Every structure is written in structure tokens, then in C-alpha cells.
Structure 1
Amino acid sequence: MTPRTLHLAIVALLSAFAATLVLLTWRETPPASIEAAAVPAISDAIRREEPLSPLPRNAPNGDPERIALGERLFNERMLSRDGSISCASCHPLERGGADGLAHSPGVDNALGEINTPTVFNTVYNFAQFWDGRALTLEDQVAGPIHNPLEMDSNWDEVIARLNADAGYRASFARLYPRGITAETISDAIAAFERTLTTPDARFDQYLRGDHGILSPEEKQGYVLFKNLGCTSCHQGVNVGGNLFQRFGVMGDYFADRGSITRADLGRYNVTGEEHDRHVFKVPSLRNVALTAPYFHDGSVERLESAVEIMARYQLGRQLSNEDIQLVVAFLRTLTGTYQGQALQ
């Protein structure tokens, strides 16, 4: 056994212990309203002694008419104060579910405080937003509508605009006895968002038994991803999205970057607890090759740089360029399909 092989084996054992410890000692237990699909994925991964699970091929079931209404609302600019933006403005499905900007423009070109995450596979997150302040997709809908840096509107205005449209009045009356309300709007949009899953990534096919679908480099990248300890935070069906973690476990990212903003405080903005300062929901790594720029601050354009920074600040490791390229090769296998078409 070479020194490098011995070193990786030791790191693998320590990482496996760390991952188990994380799963057993979460400081915040997922609430009862957690999106139902997330928890079974974790237990299934443990059962199979594999930290990652394939994404289900079928999206969660829902009423087709409510899903269609939700899709229309997802693309509806009347949700914003001046009719200038929709959910799809910041979450274009043809671009990986995010707009590729460090900070998305809202009404009157106001810039958001935090990088827009992808809308794909959010059904498998245990909470929504970087700071986890919304527990369900329904809860999440109100955030952008009321945010003055995004849609800058409110429920009364949105409901009045939709009620003025005969088509919307008829659709809501048919599907919801209460008609157009904040709750029914949120329900329809969430029903559509639950369908936004991207199954059948090449890595999913590998996990299902097609071991020839990955190159030797991609397989080495996955082994390295596990051995380094990345799966301590990025595990389960969504390769993340199922726990909170501090950004800067092994180094002070924010001191090194400088210019601390409100968004950098993370969970602290929700709980006011000092131990939640700089703590964020761990993002999913699915389709990560398509969702630059990276991190909550949108500060990093290249996936290679994101891997290097994560290794340094989360794992205390300085990776070689060779190892970075291997991990990136693996991460690129997480790009899935939407409605039968490969994302690109």
C-alpha cells in the first residue's frame, strides 16, 4: 500500500465516522412538516451503506390541473408589483433552474441580497431558502412576492390582479372552493414546483447498477468525494439539502473575504442565536455544473474554484489540481434530465 493510498484509507475511515456522527447528532431535527421525500432518502442511503441515493425517476404525484395552474402562475408577471418579473425570471428552467447571476434583479432593477438557488429538486430539501426559514414549498412562495428587492408586492395586490383575469377566476373556482387566496395561489405553485425534478443523471444510472456509464476518472472522483469527507454534508437523494452547516468549519471564510453583509449571517437572521451565525442550509449538488455562480454570495464562477474553497474551509484540506479535477469530473455526472431531455 502506497503512502497516498494509506492516507486516503485513513481519511475514508474518519470521514465515515464523521458522516455517521452528523446524521446522529443534527442540532436541528427536521420538523414534522418536512418535505416527505427527504427523510426516507437518508435512511435508504444508510441501509445500503452508500451515502448517496438515486433520484426517483417519477416526480411526486399531484393533481394535473393544479400543476398546470401552478406552472402558469410560475410564469406569471402579475405576481410582481409592476408586472416586470415572474418566478421564472430568476428560475429559468432552460438554464438549470437559476439565472446564472450572483444577485438577481427584481422590480426597478433592485438587486437581491443573496444568490438565487436552483428551483430544481427543491421538493427533496428539508427546508427552503439558504437560511431555511420556510419549511415547505407552500411557505416559500410568499417570500419573493413580499421581498422589496424581488417582486415587491403583497397578497392583496396579487389576488386583486388575478381576480381581474377571467381565466384565472374560472381556473381557481374549478379547483378551489375558496377561489383565489394566498393559500390557493401558494398551493398551486408548490404543486408545480414538486414536479421540477431531474432524474436519470449518469450517476443515478451508476447507482442503479450501470457501472460502465462512468469513466474511470469519474469513478475516482466519487471515491475521492467520499474519502475527503464531502458526504458528511452532501449525502442522500439530493446530494445535500437535508441539514444545516456552518460556512467555515475549518477556516474563517468571511474574515478572509471581508465586507460582511446581512445575508452572510445565514440562520442567525432567523433564530437570533449566536451559534447560527454563518450557518446555512447545505445546498444540493444536483446539476451543480449548470448552476454557477456558487455559494450564497455568488462569488465563485468556476466549479473547480468552488471545490478548492470547500475543501479548504470545510475540510481543512489543500487539494492538488489533479484531485480537484477528479472531484469535478464526478460532480458533472450529477446533471440530470427534465421532462426526458438532458439538461445542459
Structure 2
Amino acid sequence: MCEGPRAFCGGADDVAGHDVDVVTTGGRRKIPAHSSVLASASPVLASIIERRMQKDRESGKTGRAVVRIRGVTDDAAAAFVRLLYAGRCGGEGQAVEESEDMEKHAMQALVLAHAYQVPWLKRCCEGAIGARLTADSVVDVLQLAALCDAPRLHLRCTRLLAKEFKAVERTEAWRFLQENDPWQELDILQRLHDADLRRRRWRRKRAEQRVYVELSEAMDCLAHICTEGCTEVGPAGRAPAASPCSRYATCRGLQLLIRHFSQCHRKSCARCQRMWQLLRLHSALCDRPDQCNTPLCTRFKTKEQERVAAKAGDDDDKWVLLVKKVKAASVFSSLASRSSRCPPPPSAEHKCGISLRRLG
């Protein structure tokens, strides 16, 4: 039975001029093709065709060269040849991924593309298989991706495993893997564990960065309240502003905290301790203590210098690290929109207290 790739490359003249017969497994099918198309698509096929033609010339044989494609079904081999013609005729990319041959024979085409070194077809097969991944097929596809050195497909399989692992555990493929290849099961579980650790570290860093940004915003509001005043609290001899500022939630929380701090006389008050920490953090960040209107700024600055001198320049301190992080967050927040990075919480007073407690 003979058939040609005329559907992709233009007609009977191309098929009539073929000089290669692609023979499938067991010699049951012959597919007419052109050596120029196969050789330009695959260096492996080019080498095979060259050796066959050289051998035929030495033996005096005439006729078409024979290229055998084994290990896949006859239909998959024919689809592979048609896909090579589709790429030669400008059909690479999305059109090939959505073709009927790719839908039916994507896995076997991936094996052949890897074996015959056709990188563009390999990428198309990865995309087509990845788009149809399910919990039932992901284990088999993951093993195929590892055998065919397909990193994009391997990554998509790993992501689906992490997302739907409970569903994958109930599949027949996973049970077969557990019974017959425990090392592969261990490798998959280890990869999922490492991915979970990376995801947790990323979330923890994001949460820490959010805390530093919140504290940076609180420092800006504290300087604003002590310099210009806002609604209820303002510097001595100056009336507070009548209209609230753009950071009303944070300013409102700080004003309530300042009013409580000025009236409370308990030594073990948690709210007062938060205010002391905020004032100390402000003094560590303030670069103009002589002109600063924030209460106790100069006093905290002097005590901090004495503490650093007593430690002989030892910077291994959680407080020093906190100051550095908040200062960096202040720089970054000035370069980007604050609202796009993290929306303000409803209570700034509660926010500032939790932030300082989380960081020690």
C-alpha cells in the first residue's frame, strides 16, 4: 500500500518525483517521500539516506532508497512523514500542533522527533501533549518526557502532579508505578517535596516583604503626623489637618496609638511597647534627627549609637537587619505603586503591632 504526503505539499507531481520509500515496522507499508525533504528536516535521516544511496551505488542497484521507521505503528510513521512535510511547507508551530495527525499520534511523533533529531516537531509535540494532560495520563507522559529529554513537557507534568496529586494517586498508572518502579515513585515524590519547599519559601519571603513595606508606610505616616498633623493629632502649636490624607487607615491607627501612648502610665502596656518600637525604628531610619519633629528621635538615636559602640561594631543583630529591610522596602515602594503590590489592611494599628511581633 502506497500513499504520499500530497495533502501537505502540493500535488501529484511532488509524489511522482519521490526517490525514497519509507518502510514501516515489518515492511507492511511503504510511504513515498523525497530525500531532500527528509534530509533537510532531520540530520539522522540525512545520514541514513546518504549511506543507503552510497551502498546502492557501490552495489550497482537502481531505484529508490529505503528508509525504515520502526518501533511505532504504521499510522504513526505515516503521520510523522506528513508532519515533516508540513514543517517544510511552512506549517510549523500552532497549525501543526492542532493538526489531526498531532491529535492522534502526538506521543509516538514525540518519540520519533527525539530519535531523528527534529527539534521544531519535538516542541510542537510537547505543546500538543501538554495541552491534553489529565490526571490519568500524567504519570505515563512524565516517564515519556524523561526518556525523550523533553523539559517543557516534564515541567508541565510536575505542575499537574503537584496540583492534582490526590487524583493521580487513585489512577491505575500510579498504582502500576508503585508496584513496578519504586525508584521512579521516590523520584516523583522527592520532586514534589522540593517544589513544595520552594513554594513555601517564596510565600514566606513574600510575607516578610509585605511586613517591611507595611512598616515603611507606617514610618512615612508617623513623620507626616508629627510634621504636618492629620485629623486628630499634630505637632505642638499647630492644628491638625481637617481632611484625611491618602493613607487614612494607617494614619488613623497611628493617631489612636499616639493618643493612647500620651495618656497611658502602665509599664507593661502592649500598645505602648508597640509605640516605643515604632519610635525606635523611626530614629534608626531618620537622617535628620536635629530637625525631626518626631518625639524621642534624638534620644533613641543617641542610645543606638551607644549600643553599637558598646558592641564594638557587631552587626549581628535582628534589629539591625530589620532596619535594613525596612529601608530597602522604602526605596522599592518609592519606585513602584504601593497599591499594586499589596492592598492596605483595614486596621493600621493592628497591622503595625503584628508586624513587630512577627519580626521579634
TM-score (norm 2): 0.20
Q: Which structure has the greater CA radius of gyration?
A: 2
- Between 1 and 2, higher relative CO (CA 8 Å, sep ≥ 6) is seen in 1
TM-score (norm 1): 0.21
